[in-house]
């Protein structure tokens, strides 16, 4: 019996959410005594098989074709559904990326099977059914979703909920090459190009410390106290939906339900009310710190250390203390 | 050329009051009391886009919704915004439908409406928020789809769409008929005008049962849904919740000590 992970690649590189997912899936596969397979579609991507195996796959189904170089929903979904109906995996997991969430539902509909989205955790029950934990209503409520009868069980998993496993380059695995014909005619929704600008800074989900600001900062100028604190801590900068709407942050910096799920060691929320849509993205953080001038703000319900006060008075003082400390540490290490 | 446009709208709890939603711990049912219902925000963007296409190219806009009788309000609001026709699939046997069953029912209703060039949906709902219905609907209708569209240009039997990626976008050429799901960046939905509201009163919302759309009982509701929700619970937060209130210098010092100990330890 097999558990499948969809290996998403862009421009010949595996997206990190797929590798994270292999870590999560490895745990499930071991418990259930299933083999873990990865399915990889693309053009000239054979080199990636090694990487998938190093991250935990026992087997890689590889489908290569020039027309599969970019994500093309129709042949991708057709081929995945065909492979799945032949090999009959117990379950297929996709990363809940822009592409994964476009592709997985189409495959599930072809297979007439169940699919859950935005999954934040998976457990295996005594019947070896996947208990898929899904946040609903903006994250305040969790639902356990099961697909008891039809197969495969399918889910798209939120990026950031599992850690990327350490690759073991000595692991061995099997590569199964599958030949498939693809025609131009089939590309009724044809991806012409990807226009991507990955940010230069370290991604939010990999940072140990994240400092985030919200509507309470009032202006672009005001938001600088967030950036200055982040700099003093060598932290990444994030924010809420209003901060994005105001243009203080970029889309990839938004944290929460429709943004990133992060799990830094330390998360500092400044001028953020703590609406569920936001806090669902920070629940797994190590320590949560909040500064807000409204003692009844819901952020105080979910934080470890909170300060009721004006961010413009508290944060600059905190920043200069941290800078001094850093200056002193630098002097001590000649 | 004129286009036959269909917009899928769902009635959902108003996201501004979403934190009021609770669970009855015994029955495990969701308590929505006191939470007003609205059109799913992204579905308004889908409707706005359809109205703009009609304004530019001509054609007809039909909204389809599946839900309880109260969802008639959502249909009325869509008519007030400018839709030409509204269909509500409403039938007790549809209760408990997951996305697959919902998409199947919507696809059957859309087939009954007649031919279409483009179906527009929201990229996700605020309650279920799976985003799965549009691709599944496309599969059942046998047409291509693109999700997370923020820019759409129709030219004859083709459409060029830009679909959001994590850092950028994907440019997609679509052959019509097709299904698209849209995100909020695509447009700013209009507010219904007084004349729109008056006009809406004149147009009846058509109500269809599963027989009307040719859906069998086995395909509807819980029976037609491969997934089940076996449990629901509210998130429990286990945090220290130490809160300091005092002069800014002391507050900064208090935070400083705690941050240093977190980072040092
Ligand atoms: C479907 C949907 C998805 C969403 N997804 C997301 C998401 O992914 N991420 C997200 O963040 N939001 C999301 N939202 C929006 C979310 O519901 C909240 O509206 C948002 O998180 C609130 O942002 P905020 O805390 O910055 O602003 P507000 O709620 O306005 O809070 C500002 C806070 O700042 C405090 N404040 C004001 N002045 C000061 C001061 N001088 N010093 C200190 N504190 C001060 C105020 O007391 C207040 O608590 C979503 C909403 C919907 C409907
Ligand atoms: N019950 C429904 N009635 C009409 N449209 C729906 C329904 N459920 C979902 N949709 C459409 O599908 C989109 C995505 O929904 P979902 O997959 O549930 O997140 C929504 O924004 C609607 O456009």
For A87, residues 6+ apart whose C-beta sits below 8 A from its C-beta are: A2, A37, A61
CB contact under 8 A, A137 and B171: no
Domain assignment present for residue B115? The answer is yes
Confidence of residue A117 (pLDDT cuts 50, 70, 90): very high
Ligand 1 pocket, residues with Cβ under 6 angstroms: A 214-216, 240-243, 254-259, 271-273, 275, 277-278, 291-294, 297, 310-312; B 15, 126
- The residue nearest atom 6 of ligand 2, judged by CA position, is B10
User: Is residue A191 included in any domain, yes or no?
Assistant: no
Q: Is the pLDDT of residue B29 over 90?
A: no
pLDDT at A138: 60
pTM of the model: 0.87
- Does the pLDDT at position A332 exceed 80? no
* Nearest chain B CA: its distance from A305 CA (Å): 5
Percentage of the residues of chain B whose pLDDT score is greater than 90: 83
Residue B210 clears pLDDT 60, i.e. is over it: yes
Q: Which of A160, A186, A212 is the last residue of a domain?
A: A186
Residue A138: which of B126, B140, B254 has the nearest Cβ?
B126
Domain match, A127 and A236 both: no
- The reply to whether B248 falls in a domain is no
Percentage of the residues of chain A whose pLDDT score is greater than 70 = 98
pLDDT for B160-201, tens place per residue? 999 999 889 999 999 999 999 999 999 999 999 999 999 999
Indicate the number of domains in chain B. 1
Please give, one letter per residue, the 3-state secondary structure of chain A: CEEEEEECEECCEECHHHHHHHHHHHHHHHHHCCEEEEEEEECCCCCHHHHHHHCCCCEEEEEECHHHCCCCHHHHHHHHHHHHHHHCCCEEEEECCCCHHHHHHHHHHHHCCCEEEEECEEEECCCCCEEEEEEEHHHCEEEEEECCCCCCEEEEECCCCCCCCCCCCCCCCEEEEECCCCCHHHCCEEEEEEEECCCCCCCHHHCCEEEEECHHHCCHHHHHHHHHHHHHHCCEEEECHHHHHCCCCCHHHEECCCCECCCCCEEEEECCCCCHHHHCCCCCCCEEEEEECCCCCHHHHCCCEEEECCHHHHHHHHHHHHHHHHHHHHHHCC
Question: Does A212 lie in the same domain as A175?
Answer: no
* Within-domain flag for A199: no
Among candidate residues A133, A155, A186, the one where a domain is terminated:
A186
DSSP string, B131-192: --HHHHHHHHHT--EEEEEEEEEEETTEEEEEEEETTEEEEEEEESSEEEEE-GGG--PPPP
A73 pLDDT higher than 60? yes
Contacts of A257 in chain B (CB under 8 A): 129
- Atom in ligand 1 nearest the alpha carbon of residue A314: 42
Which domain does A296 fall in, by range?
A: 204-332
Tell me, yes or no, whether A225 and A172 share the same domain. Answer: no
Query: B26: domain CATH number?
Result: 3.40.50.620
Mean pLDDT across chain B: 93
Question: Is a pLDDT exceeding 60 seen at residue A249?
Answer: yes
Gap between the Cα atoms of A88 and A106, Å rounded: 17
Interface contact B95, partner A, CB < 8 A: no
Name the pLDDT band for A258 (thresholds 50, 70, 90).
confident
Chain B residues in contact with A322 by the CB 8 A cut-off are: 256, 259
What distance in Å separates residue A193's CA from the closest CA in chain B? 5
Per-residue pLDDT reduced to its tens digit, A287-306: 999 999 999 999 999 999 99
**Which of A186, A221, A242 corresponds to the end of one domain?**
A186
Residues A138-164 have pLDDT tens digits of 666 789 999 999 999 999 998 888 889
Instruction: Provide the shortest C-alpha distance from residue A226 to chain B (in Å).
Output: 14
Residue A271 CA, ligand 1 centroid: distance in Å: 8
Q: What is the pLDDT of residue A315?
A: 97
pLDDT band at A264 (very low <50, low <70, confident <90, very high): very high
Lowest-pLDDT choice from A163-167, A201-205, B104-108, B109-113:
A201-205
Is the per-residue pLDDT at A42 higher than 90? yes
Do A82 and A21 have their domain in common? yes
Query: What is the number of the ligand closest to the CA of B44?
Result: 2
Say whether pLDDT at A334 is over 60: no
Any CB–CB contact under 8 A between B264 and chain A?
Answer: no
Q: Is the domain of A148 the same as that of A257?
A: no
pLDDT of B106 reads 98
One domain for residues A302 and A273: yes
The chain-wide mean pLDDT, for chain A, equals: 94
Does residue B15 register a pLDDT over 80? no
Identify the pLDDT of residue B234: 81
Q: What pLDDT, on a 0 to 100 scale, did the predictor assign at position B47?
A: 98
* Whole-number percent of chain A with pLDDT over 90: 82
- In this prediction, residue A271 has a pLDDT band, given cuts at 50, 70 and 90, of very high
Token pair, residue B259, equals 């941050």
What is the reported pLDDT for A323?
Answer: 94
Would you say residue A90 lies in a domain?
yes
Range of the domain at B37: 3-219
Among A32-36, A186-190, B30-34, name the one with the lowest average pLDDT. Answer: B30-34
Residue A94 lies inside a defined structural domain of this protein: yes
Name the more confident of A257 and A77: A77
Domain count across chain A: 2
Q: What is the pLDDT of residue A333?
A: 65
Reported as a single tens digit per residue, the pLDDT across B115-153 is 999 999 999 998 776 899 999 999 999 999 999 999 999
- Is the pLDDT confidence value at B19 over 70? no
Which chain A residue shows the shortest CA-CA distance from B164?
Answer: A98
B100 chain-A contacts, CB cut-off 8 A: 108-109, 112-115
What local confidence, expressed as pLDDT, does residue A276 receive? 84
Q: With contacts defined as CB-CB under 8 Å, which chain B residues touch A299?
A: none
CATH number for the domain harbouring residue A91: 3.40.50.620
Confidence label for A34 from pLDDT (cuts 50, 70 and 90): very high
């Amino acid at each position: 019996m097999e558990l499948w992970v969809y290996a998403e690649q862009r421009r010949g590189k595996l997206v990190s959410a797929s590798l994270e997912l292999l870590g999560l899936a490895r745990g499930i596969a071991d418990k259930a005594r299933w083999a873990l397979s990865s399915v990889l579609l693309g053009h000239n991507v054979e080199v990636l098989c090694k990487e998938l195996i190093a991250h935990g796959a026992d087997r890689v189904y590889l489908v290569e074709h020039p027309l599969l170089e970019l994500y093309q929903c129709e042949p991708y979904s057709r081929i995945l559904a065909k492979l799945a109906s032949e090999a009959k995996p117990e379950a297929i997991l996709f990363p809940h990326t822009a592409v994964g969430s476009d592709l997985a539902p189409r495959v599930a509909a072809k297979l007439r099977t169940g699919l859950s989205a935005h999954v934040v955790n998976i457990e295996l029950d005594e019947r070896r059914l996947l208990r898929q934990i899904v946040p609903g209503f903006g994250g305040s409520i969790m639902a356990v979703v099961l697909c008891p009868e039809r197969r495969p069980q399918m889910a798209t998993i939120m990026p950031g909920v599992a850690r990327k496993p350490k690759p073991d380059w000595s692991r061995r695995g099997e590569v199964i090459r599958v030949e498939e014909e693809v025609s131009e005619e089939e590309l009724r929704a044809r991806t012409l190009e990807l226009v991507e600008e990955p940010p230069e800074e370290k991604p939010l989900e990999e940072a140990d410390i994240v400092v985030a600001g919200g509507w309470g900062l009032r202006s672009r100028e005001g938001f600088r106290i967030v950036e200055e604190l982040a700099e003093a801590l060598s932290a990444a900068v994030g924010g809420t939906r209003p901060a994005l709407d105001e243009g203080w942050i970029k889309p990839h910096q938004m944290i929460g339900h429709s943004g990133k799920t992060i799990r830094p060691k330390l998360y500092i929320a400044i001028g953020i009310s703590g609406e569920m849509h936001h806090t669902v993205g920070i629940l797994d953080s190590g320590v949560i710190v909040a500064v807000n001038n409204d003692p009844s703000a819901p952020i105080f319900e979910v934080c470890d250390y909170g300060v009721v006060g004006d961010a413009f008075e508290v944060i600059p003082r905190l920043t200069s203390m941290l800078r001094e400390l850093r200056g002193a540490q630098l002097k001590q290490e000649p | 050329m004129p286009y036959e446009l269909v917009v899928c709208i769902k009635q959902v709890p108003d996201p501004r009051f979403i934190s009021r939603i609770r669970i009855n711990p015994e029955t495990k049912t969701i308590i929505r009391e006191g939470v007003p219902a609205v059109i799913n925000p992204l579905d308004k963007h889908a409707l706005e886009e359809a109205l703009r296409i009609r304004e530019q190219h001509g054609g007809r806009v039909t909204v389809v919704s599946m839900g309880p009788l109260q969802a008639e309000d959502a249909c009325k609001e869509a008519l007030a915004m400018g839709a030409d026709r509204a269909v509500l699939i409403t039938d007790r046997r549809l209760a408990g439908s997951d996305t697959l069953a919902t998409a199947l029912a919507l696809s059957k209703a859309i087939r009954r409406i007649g031919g279409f060039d483009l179906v527009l949906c929201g990229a996700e709902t605020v309650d279920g928020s799976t985003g799965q219905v549009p691709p599944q609907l496309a599969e059942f209708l046998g047409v291509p789809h693109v999700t997370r569209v923020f820019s759409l240009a129709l030219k004859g039997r083709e459409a060029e769409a830009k679909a959001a990626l994590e850092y950028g976008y994907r440019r997609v050429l679509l052959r019509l008929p097709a299904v698209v799901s849209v995100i909020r960046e695509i447009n700013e939905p209009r507010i219904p005008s007084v004349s729109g509201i008056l006009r809406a009163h004149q147009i009846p919302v058509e109500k269809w049962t599963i027989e009307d759309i040719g859906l069998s009982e086995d395909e509807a509701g819980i029976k037609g849904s491969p997934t089940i929700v076996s449990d629901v619970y509210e998130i429990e937060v286990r945090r220290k919740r130490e809160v300091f209130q005092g002069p800014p210098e002391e507050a900064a010092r208090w935070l400083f000590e705690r941050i240093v100990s977190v980072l040092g330890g």
